[in-house]
Chain A
Amino acid sequence: MLGCLFAAPAAAAQSARPAELAKSLERVYGPGARVDTVYVDSAEVYRVSRDGTLLGFAQVRNVKGKDQPITYLVATDSADALRDVDILTYREPYGGEVAYEPWRRQFRGKTAGAPLQVGKDIRNVSGATISTNAVTRGVRRALAELTAWHAEGRLR
């Protein structure tokens, strides 16, 4: 059970709920994947593998919306391209359209070299400019970090 592999720290603000995170990872990487928690400095990263083969890395991140954080999952494959972005918790009454699959789908396959800018390779959601810009910015940073850590050997 994926759920057993997590002990989400109770005191950390905006950590993902274990059940939700497990479901999200299973949807992205398929059932039966093994998830190990590794640390780069104080950052918690999930190393996902199956039968000894690396599938990719995933991380739970937060970015500020208008007045509440948006908690999301960034998941890469073994070549540091985005497998998916998942919105785990959206707290505000407006802008929740970033959770829609057609919007999130735009991130799949992108690597750290992609612009990942709203209005260029990522379409805006009209009337939800704050959340689309916030999540795009967050994903861009997360992908850059995960790619760099993997290249430096801090993630293996």
Chain B
Amino acid sequence: MRVPPPILAVLALFALPFTPLGYGQASAQEEERTTIGGYGEVHYTNATGPDTPGQVNVRRFIVFLAHAFSERIAFRSELELEDTKIEGGEEGGEVALEQLYLDYTLSPAATIRAGLVLPPIGIINEVHEPPTFNGVERPSFDRNVIPSTWRDIGVGLIGTLPGSSGLNYRVFLLNGLVASGFSAGAGIRGGRQEGKEASFANPSLTGRLEWVRLGLRLGGSFWYGGSAAQDPALGTGTFDNAVALVSADARYDIGPFMFRGVVANVSVADAEAINAAYGGQVGSRIAGGYLEGAYNLLSALAPSSSQRLNAFIRHERYNTQAGVPAGVVRDEALARRITTLGLSYKPVYNVVFKGDYQLRRNRAGAGEDEQLSLGVGYQF
């Protein structure tokens, strides 16, 4: 297949003016290097209400394994164990590869990445090590709207645009979602294939553009791809039952204050056909967002300390049935409003002791409760 000249020109642009990384020259010959790292978290959660005793859990333990073959080529991977262990016949527990890919850096503007990767959507999906976010559990929005931790297999390009624009991008072609897994309460979350013998019937495009200034990071992400997975009840076309996701997010740090916010909108095309095929109540539109503010109490209580005690408050508002197809009556309990207040104590920037109190409400007023959570987490 011929590569059209415009595409060649764009590719040449990426290879252009940047300092070549170490090829040909006698100096800076790198040794190969293997790195082991990881992150993990242990939780205590206790919801209000009868019949809900407290629970403790090693929520996740991740081993990060990477190897630099040269200055340009690196292998990176993450292996995860959830809920302490897996025992036959018992619920919970999962061992899974979360990431596994090769990076080949052509220039600072273009690194080719291939393998099991994280779609660059929102904040939490790419950056979810415990010390990087407030609250013991990840925001519920980052489960049911942007289904973190989302990972699929494919190939893509990442890089920083030249000059001092502060713009960086990532774009990938990955295997798609599978509509049979969609649900009313968790949106597209159950449709993730997670790279296990995944069908490539619906190759999907995903990408992100970020703008970075001192103290500010703005991002916009998208996902577009079919989800029919060649089910004849839905369609055998590549883009049948397309899922279109757009999101925008911001992080802003100033002095002792830290803010973040995310909004996302997910459209599920022909949700009516999905419900007819699988008997669910999947929404045709899933949308929402959250806003969070935090303040480092130690900046006032112990100004000379490099430790942090962040007091935060977050409000999430989302609806996995923001839009419904014909034949579905909205479940008002799925229009959720969750407020989380808490503290994160970071003696060093890689370790966190967390506590939070969460008020979980919804438009129907059904099944509302509160939850107290405590957790410890680390990354290195």
Partners in one complex: yes
Interface of A toward B, CB cutoff 8 Å: 8-11, 13-18, 20, 66-68, 89-91, 93, 96-97, 100-103, 115, 117-120, 123-129, 133
* Chain A, residue nearest B379 (CB): A130
Give A9's nearest chain B residue, CB to CB.
B27
Cβ contact within 8 Å between B308 and A129: no
Partner of B27, one of A8, A100, A127: A8
A interface footprint on B16-57 (CB within 8 Å = 1, 0 otherwise): 000101100111111101010100000000000000000000
Do B212 and A127 touch across chains, with their CB atoms under 8 A apart? Answer: yes
List chain B residues, Cβ under 8 A from A16.
Answer: 27-28
Instruction: Report the number of A-B residue pairs with Cβ-Cβ less than 8 Å.
Output: 100
**Beta-carbon contact of A133 and B349 below 8 Å:** yes
Contacting residue for A103 out of B214, B217, B253, B296, CB 8 A: B214
Among candidates B27, B68, B103, B217, residue contacting A17 with C-beta atoms closer than 8 Å: B27
The reply to whether A120 and B306 contact each other, CB–CB distance below 8 Å, is yes
Nearest neighbor of B219 in chain A, beta-carbon distance? A127
Pick the contact of B74 from A8, A10, A67, A120 — CB < 8 Å? A67
B213 contacts across to A, CB distance below 8 A: 102
* Interface residue range, chain B: 35 or more
Name the residue among A8, A102, A126 with the largest chain B CB count within 10 angstroms.
A126
16 extra interface residue pairs, beta carbon distance < 8 Å, beyond A11-B29, A129-B132: A9-B27, A10-B27, A14-B30, A16-B27, A17-B28, A66-B66, A67-B68, A67-B76, A100-B166, A101-B164, A119-B296, A123-B215, A124-B253, A126-B215, A127-B212, A133-B349
| Chain A interface helix/strand/loop/mixed | loop
Question: A19: shortest Cβ distance to chain B, in Å?
Answer: 9
How near does chain A come to B122, taking the closest CB pair, in angstroms? 12
Q: Which 3 A-B pairs have the closest CB atoms?
A: A67-B35, A126-B251, A67-B66
Partner of B251, one of A68, A103, A127: A127
Contacts of A18 in B (CB 8 A): 27
Q: What is the CB-to-nearest-CB distance from B308 to chain A, in angstroms, rounded to a whole number?
A: 7
**Cross-chain contact of B216 among A13, A90, A126, A129 (Cβ < 8 A):** A126
Sample 6 A-B pairs with CB under 8 A, ordered by A number: A13-B28, A89-B71, A102-B214, A103-B214, A115-B306, A127-B212
For A93, list chain B residues within 8 Å (CB). 103, 105, 111, 113, 158-159
Q: Which residues in B have their C-beta under 8 angstroms from that of A117?
A: 306
User: Which A residues touch B160, using CB under 8 A?
Assistant: 96
- Please tell me if the beta carbons of B71 and A97 are within 8 angstroms of each other in the complex: no
Find chain A residues with CB under 8 A from B296 CB. 119
The minimal Cβ–Cβ distance linking A70 to chain B, given in whole angstroms, is 12
Is the beta-carbon distance between B252 and A126 smaller than 8 angstroms?
A: yes
A101 surroundings in chain B (CB, below 8 A): 164
From the candidates A17, A97, A119, name the one contacting B166 in the complex (CB within 8 A): A97
Give chain A residues whose Cβ lies under 8 Å from the Cβ of B306. 115, 117, 119-120
Contacts of B276 in A (CB 8 A): none
Question: Is B108 part of the binding interface, using a Cβ–Cβ cutoff of 8 Å?
Answer: yes
Given A124-B215, A127-B217, A133-B349, A14-B28 contact (CB < 8 Å): yes
- State whether the Cβ of B127 lies closer than 8 Å to any Cβ in chain A: yes
With A96-B160, A127-B127, A127-B251 known as contacts, the answer to whether A10 contacts B26 (CB < 8 A) is: yes
Q: Which residues of B contact A97 (CB under 8 A)?
A: 166, 212
> Closest CB-CB distance, A144 to chain B, in whole Å?
15
State whether B166 touches A15 (Cβ < 8 A).
Answer: no
A10: chain B residues within 8 A (beta carbon): 26-27, 29
Instruction: Name the residue on B nearest A90 (C-beta).
Output: B108
Residue in chain B with minimal CB distance to A102:
B214
| Assembly CA distance A125 to B74 (angstroms) | 24
**Are B214 and A125 touching (Cβ within 8 A)?**
yes
Q: Are B68 and A68 in contact (CB under 8 A)?
A: yes
Contacts of A126 in B (CB 8 A): 212, 215-217, 251-253
